[in-house]
Structure 1
């Protein structure tokens, strides 16, 4: 799978990339995320040019990796910054830089560290991790020198969670809207489909708590409303147990519009989490609370790896796209 000639999107030639087409954007960005995995594998295997396997994944589309992001605790590469250097004039809709972040690598070298970070996604502390902070600093450095429209965020699994909290932070604190591609982002909460009654009880409980924590409630609402203009791409597969709950998360919101429970969810529960209520990690950020998104669902059978990145550069992928918009006026009800 690491050899681009065997597993990569060779069907899409660099000169044929249509930067106006979301599908072509998806293929290119997914390839760069895969490159961030392979760069770490190259590093572990001590491969050097011309034996590097990661190079083909980015150079095929005229991208060069200009910076690697390393974990300060285990020195592993968890992401890369790629620069688009085409031999022709850059399309105005094409990025100049893509910050691509890998997900969990369950092997002896990375397993423990990555698992600890996976746990922090669930408890809401991934924004406090050194990976998130290092990546945020790198992104802000790019923003200080270039236009935000020229910088794209991308990540798979754990990397998608880190990309999410960075994107949310930038738009909430600095009103900087970065285009984001989030592949199989974890949904660390109760799925509305699995336990619908429990989900309703959870919503009512959070509404009740908000009555007694009005100041915190108002702060959360204000921050959440700032996110309504951010529409990241969420790529999920229905068979992926880690990210599939995004499908009923947005579907349920649409179905319950105009109902009492729907109003409660939109006005309070949508932007309040148990982690925040219980202060599991002070100042924590839960990635999955998103007001708006472009939800892209892979309809292909994917029995082997529904959580894998490979499915997102396939040529014959069948996609169902939902533009999930949040209605801020509902928040005025409470």
Structure 2
């Protein structure tokens, strides 16, 4: 329970204890909304609050105190609505009773929509979001675990776009952006944030909003987004470097050859999608030792190397996936014409934040730590190349 208490586990470097005359010390949060570090910490804390929300129901019955609100109220946000969706795992679909698998919840909280509510008389900082939509990841030893794992398997085979939770998230964010747009507001007033499975949902939502509606000014904070790079990750570290030097150049050559010949229509479709997505640059937070998001690291770093060495080949191949080309080329999404199985790591633009610290590689808590603890670096990638890598701390 201690790890769920914001005052005990939150970002201490942003906390200040203020002692007034004749009163007890009060912990205040100091936020620099123009700081990449502070924005990252705020987004990570809010996502952590979504993990805690489900447990608050039982805590309210036992102790009368909810712990989740402190993870967003401390930064001046209030809950606008909770995102829930029914489980789609095989047990719920077939109404199978789980005798030995413990309790299972057919409907669970997977996210939250928050509204920024500055103190009375204060104005919202121009760099602060008006709304944040946050999504939690997988919750082990929790009644929703089976439903989460069902979605994780769908992500592994790239079939998540059609899942109910993903559709529901796209619908909810779309409605929010429509309401803001109709009132003359900008989409930058909305942040998307998620961890692991939740990062996959946020990425899917962001891609859909940009590709289908052209809302490219949509900040996204994606912590440990899943994209498993199977070939290199199954090898020992010593062989992995050798495999990358061989596998990736060969893969790029094959994709470029197919994209320029027999699969030219698919290459043209992907070029149009890349052009639509190019202005959008989500923030991807990955750990170098986290196998779950290794695919994003490999994709962007190898893409940059190939653009440097063989630009004409890389410009075609970086938009394509062999699995998409050979298996999914005829599968079309009825919602927006985009191939449902287009790999989510095929992003023209992103800022990749790499963490090489001692923290749990896939843990969310590391991301509300200060830069000085994370051995952090960032690099902005686009379809034209990459900027110089920046190191922090």
TM-score (normalizing by structure 2): 0.77
Structure 1 residue runs without a partner (length 5+): 329-334
Separation in 2 of the partners of 1:250 and 1:42?
39
Aligned residue for 1:242, secondary structure, equals helix
Match of 1:75 in 2: 107
Separation in 1 of the partners of 2:53 and 2:322?
36
Q: Relative to structure 2, which stretch is displaced further, 131-140 or 272-281?
A: 272-281
How far 1:113 sits from its partner (Å)? 1.1
Separation in 2 of the partners of 1:55 and 1:47?
16
Taking the TM superposition and a 5 Å limit, the aligned residue runs for 1:149-298 are 149-177=188-216, 178-190=218-230, 193=240, 195-196=243-244, 197-210=246-259, 211-260=261-310, 262-279=311-328, 283-298=340-355
Distance 1:20 1:327, change over 3 A: same
Aligned residue for 2:378, secondary structure, equals strand
Choose from 175, 181, 184 the match for 1:141.
175
Separation in 1 of the partners of 2:68 and 2:281?
29
The answer to whether the 8 A contact 1:187-1:242 is kept is yes
Distance 1:83 1:189, change over 3 A: same
Q: Relative to structure 2, which stretch is displaced further, 140-149 or 155-164?
A: 140-149
TM-score (normalizing by structure 1): 0.90
Q: Which has the larger radius of gyration?
A: 2
The answer to whether the 8 A contact 2:307-2:314 is kept is no
How far 1:268 sits from its partner (Å)? 2.6
Separation in 2 of the partners of 1:47 and 1:289?
46
The answer to whether the 8 A contact 2:48-2:71 is kept is yes
Distance 1:276 1:41, change over 3 A: farther
Aligned residue for 1:64, secondary structure, equals strand
Separation in 2 of the partners of 1:252 and 1:207?
15
Work out the number of aligned pairs and report it: 325
How far 1:286 sits from its partner (Å)? 2.4
The answer to whether the 8 A contact 2:211-2:277 is kept is yes
Separation in 2 of the partners of 1:324 and 1:142?
29
How far 1:70 sits from its partner (Å)? 0.8
How far 1:47 sits from its partner (Å)? 4.8
Match of 2:335 in 1: none
How far 1:273 sits from its partner (Å)? 4.7
The answer to whether the 8 A contact 1:125-1:285 is kept is no
Separation in 2 of the partners of 1:243 and 1:47?
38
Aligned residue for 2:294, secondary structure, equals coil
Separation in 1 of the partners of 2:50 and 2:277?
28
The answer to whether the 8 A contact 1:190-1:199 is kept is no
The Cα offsets for residues 41-70 of structure 1, whole Å up to 9 and x where unpaired, read as 223656588511101111111111111111
The answer to whether the 8 A contact 2:135-2:198 is kept is yes
Match of 1:29 in 2: 43
The Cα offsets for residues 223-282 of structure 1, whole Å up to 9 and x where unpaired, read as 11211111111101111111134233222222232423x532332343335135302965
Separation in 2 of the partners of 1:227 and 1:154?
18
The answer to whether the 8 A contact 2:267-2:319 is kept is no
The answer to whether the 8 A contact 1:160-1:182 is kept is yes
